[in-house]
Structure 1
C-alpha cells in the first residue's frame, strides 16, 4: 500500500459527523454512516454486519483500505484519503432474478453524480467499472449475504499518475475535474444511489418501469461496442454488445445468436461504427 506525501490540508479527512448530518435523516435510505481511518475491506466489514442481521442503509467509508478487492479477486489500492472507498448495505425486496441490477444501479448513480458535480464525462463499462474514455475511474463489487447485498466502490479522486494502481486507471484530478473534494462527492453519490434505488424498489425491481434500463443504456460505454468477454471456465465470446436485458445481463450478438451474460470480464475492442 502506498503512503501519501500529502498533508491533511491537501487531502483532508472526511468528517463522520458532518456526513451523518447530511445524509442520515428521518425517512432516508441511509440509516447510519461510519468513517474509519483504516480497515481491511469495507465490504467484508459490512458483510459481517449483514450476517448478524444489520438493517438496510448502513454506510461504511474507509480513509485507507488495506485489503480492497475487485471482481475476479483483483486487488484495489489507493493512498490514504486519495479516493472514496466505501460500502453500503442494501436489502432489496425484489425478485432475486432482478437483483443483478444492484451493481448497475450503483454504477449509474455514481457516474451521474460525478458528471454533474465534477464535469467529467463518466461512462459505464458493464458490469462494474466507471470509465473516462477507456481509463478506469472507479470499480464496484457487489456481494450477496443471505438476503442482503453489500456493494462496495473505490473511486479515484486525487491520485497522481505515479500513484495509480494500474496504467489503465485515472483519477478526477488527472482528468482536471471541476470538483475533486471528497466530501461533496460522497454526498452526491449517496443521494443519487438513494434516488435510483427508491425508484427501482417502488417499481418492484422492474428496470423498465423505473427508467433504470434506459438511463443505464444512455450512460453505457459497452452497448454498441464490439467486445471480447472472458467467461468462467476459460471460454471467450466475441461479438457486438447490443444491450442489457431485464435482469441486467449483457446481451452479446455472436455468430447470429444473442447471448445473455450474467458474468464475464469485458474488453472493449472497437466501436460498432468503426
Structure 2
C-alpha cells in the first residue's frame, strides 16, 4: 500500500531524532499539512513516541536504529536468508506460511508486528522499531519429540548474547523467558507446523524489549524492563549465527551439554517459587532442570520434575 510506503519513508526521515517541520514534510510527500497530521497519528498508534512543537515541527523521542540488510550481512556472512519485514502481522506466522521454501537457519526480522503473539496465543506488544522481533525456521530430523527443551537452549543463547552486548546480568526463566532485575526482558515462542513425515518443522520466535516506552497496559500486565540501546543489526546477526550453531549441537547431543549453562543463568535457582497449573498452585524451591527440560522443584526434601505446556512459573518470595 502506498500509504504504508509513505509512513515508512516518514519514519526514515524522522529517525535522525531531529525536528522536521510539517511544511517540509507536506512538500516532500505532496500532501496537505492535515495529511501529515494523519500520518503522525498512525505512527503514534504504531508505538512511536513523537513530540510536536509549533514552529519547529515533529521529532522522535530518540533516534531509531533501523534494520538494514547490508549492515546485517557485514556482521554475518551466510547462505541462510535473513529477511527484513518493515510491517508484518507476525514473524512466526510469516515463516509458518512459507515452510516449503525454507531451509534450517532461515530467518526474518520485523520493525513492527500488527498481530504479535506470545505463549498460549497471548497478544504481545510490538511497537515499531523499539524492540527485536526475530523468527528462525528449523527442521528437526528426529521428529517433534526432539524439540523437548529447545526453548531452553534458545533462552541460553539469547541471554549470553545480550549479556555480551549490554554488559548486564541477564537471566533465564523456565521455560521461555529472559529476566533482568527480576523483570521480564524477553520472550521465546516455539511453534511447530503440521507436516507429514517423520521430521518436525519448528519456528522459533524471539522478542526482546530494547527501547520500549508507554506499553499498552492491557497487553503488558507484568513487570517489564528494557535492555537499552544496542546495535540491532549486530544483535540480529549474532542471534542468527550463534543460534544456528547451538541448534546443531542440540540436535546431536540433546539438552545435557546445556544444563550447566542453564544453572549459570537461572533467575530462580534455589529460590522459592510457585507453579500455576490450571487452578492449582504448587510451591517449592527451584532446583534447575533435568535432561528432558523439566523444571526441578524441591518439596519437603524431595525433588520432583514438572513439565508441560500449561505450567506458569512465578516467584513466591
**1:180 pairs with 2:230:** yes
Question: 2:70 matched to which residue of 1?
Answer: 17
Structure with bigger helix share is 2
Question: 1:67 matched to which residue of 2?
Answer: 115
Question: 1:218 matched to which residue of 2?
Answer: 264
Question: 2:168 matched to which residue of 1?
Answer: 120
Q: Which has the higher contact order (CA 8 A, sep 6+)?
A: 1
Range moving further from structure 2, 40-49 or 179-188: 179-188
Output the CA distance in 1 between the equivalents of 2:186 and 2:279.
26
Select the residue among 157, 171, 188 that pairs with 2:226: 171
1:34-88 Cα deviation digits (max 9, x unpaired): 01111111111111222x3532121011100111111133211132100000111
Question: 2:316 matched to which residue of 1?
Answer: 269
Following superposition, the deviation at residue 166 of structure 1 comes to: 4.1
**1:5 pairs with 2:54:** no
Aligned partners of 1:24 and 1:33 also within 8 Å:
no
Output the CA distance in 2 between the equivalents of 1:136 and 1:250.
19
**1:41 pairs with 2:86:** no
Output the CA distance in 1 between the equivalents of 2:279 and 2:255.
31
Following superposition, the deviation at residue 202 of structure 1 comes to: 3.3
Change over 3 Å in CA distance of 1:144–1:167 after alignment to 2: closer
CA RMSD of aligned residues (A): 2.2
Output the CA distance in 1 between the equivalents of 2:168 and 2:239.
14
Between the two proteins, the alignment pairs up a number of residues equal to 254
2:251 aligned counterpart, secondary structure? helix
Aligned partners of 2:117 and 2:124 also within 8 Å:
yes
Question: Which structure 1 residue ranges, 5 or more long, are not aligned?
Answer: 174-178
Aligned partners of 2:156 and 2:172 also within 8 Å:
yes
Question: 1:176 matched to which residue of 2?
Answer: none
Instruction: Please show how residues 22-101 of structure 1 align to structure 2 within 5 Å.
Output: 22-26=75-79, 31-50=80-99, 52=100, 54-94=102-142, 96-101=144-149
1:146-205 Cα deviation digits (max 9, x unpaired): 411101011011123x347445111012xxxxx5221122222223312322322232xx
Following superposition, the deviation at residue 259 of structure 1 comes to: 3.1
Aligned partners of 1:245 and 1:260 also within 8 Å:
no
Question: Which structure 2 residue ranges, 5 or more long, are not aligned?
Answer: 1-44, 51-59, 195-199
Following superposition, the deviation at residue 3 of structure 1 comes to: 2.9
Output the CA distance in 2 between the equivalents of 1:269 and 1:223.
12
**1:243 pairs with 2:288:** yes
Range moving further from structure 2, 124-133 or 234-243: 234-243
